[in-house]
Amino acid sequence: MTRELFWLTLTVILTGLLWVPYILNRIQVRGLSGAMDNPSRNDKPHAPWATRLMFAHDNAVENLVIFAPLVLILNLIDYSTKWTVLACAVYFWSRVAHVIVYTLGLPVFRTVAFTVGFLAQAVLVLAIFGIV
């Protein structure tokens, strides 16, 4: 496994686990049967942090759709440099930071974390085209 694929794997695991805390909150707020029921406009709302975590999870999924193919393309073309590895690591940690600050409700820091992740993806794009 390349180092880029390692960071992709960690990112996939992180994204795959983000639903757990907000579902636990849903169970706490609505009860187990309410959490398993079909959604309704009359449902009791999640705690504010859980709602923000749901949005962070949605954002993580949306960005994984971009990050994963970039890493897989790099793997397919057998291209790996210190910059691509660093970009993948930075992307992962920016996603961790994004989830934390989004859940805590820190909007400026959320935007900074997102932007850092976006720039890491841009490095991967540049690497695919042989610019980095």
Region 70-82: mean pLDDT is 98
Residue 123 lies in a domain: yes
Q: How many domains does the chain have?
A: 1
User: In angstroms, rounded to a whole number, what is the distance separating the alpha carbons of residues 124 and 84?
Assistant: 6
- Coil, helix or strand at residue 67: helix
Q: Is the pTM of this model over 0.85?
A: yes
Residue 42 lies in a domain: no
CA-CA-CA-CA dihedral for 90, 101, 52, 94, to nearest 10: 0
Does the pLDDT at position 87 exceed 90?
Answer: yes
Listed in sequence order, the residues at least 6 apart from 9 whose beta carbon sits closer than 8 Å to its beta carbon are 1
Residue 56 lies in a domain: yes
In which domain, by residue range, is 110 found?
3-17+48-128
Residue 54 lies in a domain: yes
Q: Are 59 and 98 in contact (CB under 8 A)?
A: yes
> CATH number of the domain that 56 lies in?
1.20.120.550
Residue 35 lies in a domain: no
Region 74-87: mean pLDDT is 98
Does the pLDDT at position 132 exceed 90?
Answer: no
Region 12-27: mean pLDDT is 97
Does the pLDDT at position 80 exceed 90?
Answer: yes
Q: What is the percentage of the chain residues whose pLDDT exceeds 90? A: 98
Among 16-20, 28-32, 41-45, 102-106, the least confident range: 41-45
In whole numbers, what is the pLDDT of the chain averaged over residues?
Answer: 97
The beta-strand segments (E) located in 5-122 are none
Alpha carbon 42 to its chain's center: 29
